[in-house]
C-alpha cells in the first residue's frame, strides 16, 4: 500500500501544471480619497514576448506599462469618490509553453473619505 502511494505521488509530481492565474499585488485594498492606489500584475509568460495588459473603462481601452525587470504590469488610479472601485481588464500573453492566451481580470479596491 505504501509503495502504491509513493508511486502515485511520484507520477503526479512529474506532471507540469502551469499556473495561469493573474496575481495582483498591492500594499492595501483601501485608500483615502484623493490618494493613489497602486498594484502590480503578474502572470507566467514566455521570456521572449512581453505580455500586454489592458484596462477597460467607459468604452475605452488603456494599455498598462510593463516593467520587464520586475516581470509585471503597473496599475495606478487616483481614488475619486467614496466606495468600491472595480477595474475590468485582460492580458494577452504567450505562456511559458509558447501558446498564445488571453485572460480577464478585475482590480478591486475601496476609497474612504478623508
**Which pLDDT score is estimated for 20?**
58
Q: Give the Cα separation of 17 and 95 in Å (integer).
A: 12
User: What average pLDDT does this structure show over 88-92?
Assistant: 97
CATH tag, 19-112? 2.60.40.10
List CB contacts of 7: < 8 A, sequence separation 6 or more: none
Distance CA 96, CA 86 (A): 29
pLDDT for 19: 43
On average, the pLDDT of the chain sits at 85
> Do 80 and 2 form a contact (C-beta atoms < 8 A)?
no
Q: Which residue has the higher pLDDT, 19 or 20?
A: 20
Which segment of 10-14, 28-32, 66-70, 101-105 scores lowest on mean pLDDT? 10-14
The domain locations on the chain are 19-112
For the segment 49-67, the average pLDDT, to the nearest whole number, is 96
pLDDT at 101 over 60: yes
Amino acid at each position: 500500500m505504501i509503495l502504491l502511494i509513493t508511486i502515485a505521488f511520484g507520477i503526479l509530481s512529474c506532471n507540469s501544471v502551469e499556473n495561469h492565474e493573474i496575481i495582483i499585488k498591492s500594499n492595501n485594498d483601501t485608500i483615502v480619497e484623493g490618494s493613489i492606489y497602486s498594484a502590480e500584475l503578474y502572470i507566467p509568460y514566455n521570456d521572449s514576448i512581453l505580455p500586454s495588459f489592458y484596462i477597460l473603462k467607459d468604452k475605452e481601452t488603456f494599455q498598462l506599462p510593463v516593467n520587464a525587470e520586475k516581470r509585471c504590469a503597473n496599475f495606478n488610479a487616483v481614488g475619486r469618490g467614496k466606495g468600491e472601485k472595480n477595474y475590468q481588464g485582460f492580458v494577452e500573453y504567450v505562456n511559458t509553453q509558447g501558446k498564445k492566451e488571453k485572460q480577464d481580470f478585475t482590480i478591486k479596491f475601496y476609497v474612504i473619505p478623508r
